[in-house]
Chains A and B, each alone.
Chain A
Amino acid sequence: DAKTTQPTSMDCAEGRAANLPCNHSTISGNEYVYWYRQIHSQGPQYIIHGLKNNETNEMASLIITEDRKSSTLILPHATLRDTAVYYCIVRALNRGRKLIWGLGTSLAVNP
């Protein structure tokens, strides 16, 4: 699976949009981009995923560049409860089902 690169940490003011970048320059055409987050030591929480089109759900938006080499997760109005480690994972679904986790981005939402 393609390797992803994320900043180690980011800060965001409460109520503002949090934009979390992810580089996946070696992504293949059949690989999806997944985002999860882990709040403190809880189980990872699925946020969103996409292939080539931008996606939006009740939690976030996912913007994937046209060349698919990078993406951005957007939390439109961050709250203190969004403080977590955010993981960007690229996954080739026809080569097994495991998720390969990096160290993610530690997002701190400040009051």
Chain B
Amino acid sequence: NAGVMQNPRHLVRRRGQEARLRCSPMKGHSHVYWYRQLPEEGLKFMVYLQKENIIDESGMPKERFSAEFPKEGPSILRIQQVVRGDSAAYFCASSSFSGRLPIADTQYFGPGTRLTVL
């Protein structure tokens, strides 16, 4: 049973370019979460998506960042016009939500994409 997959594992961009990070959730999981980890810091929540819906984007920067999780295919985190401060590790997690109480949907993480902005 394949785990959460992310690609690319490493991405190098020059300032002003676009970065596209992909996440394929575990089989049977329809909930995807994106987190960012800056060097020497803890993980910070960015966005939570279900198929074709953004549920919580309270951690997303207001500009340049967007996320989607289409009906078919992986979830995409897109960063436009990257700046050096975007250099970080971006982790995707997925979960399955049973809808029953008590709810305990565990999030399983991918290996991350390390973005370096030159």
Contact = CB atoms under 8 A, between A and B. Distances in A.
Nearest to A41: B89
A93 B109 contact: no
B56 interface: yes
Contacts of B4: 43
Given A30-B102, A32-B104, A44 B43 contact: yes
Contacts of B56: 96-98
Interface in B55-107: 55-56, 58-59, 89, 91, 93, 95, 102-107
Given A30-B102, A32-B104, A93-B103, A101 B111 contact: no
Instruction: Categorize the interface residue count of chain B.
Output: 20 to 34
Contacts, number: 66
A97 B48 contact: yes
A65 interface: no
Interface of B: 4, 6, 31, 33, 35, 42-45, 48, 55-56, 58-59, 89, 91, 93, 95, 102-112, 114
Interface of A: 30, 32, 34, 36, 41-46, 49, 51, 87, 93-94, 96-104
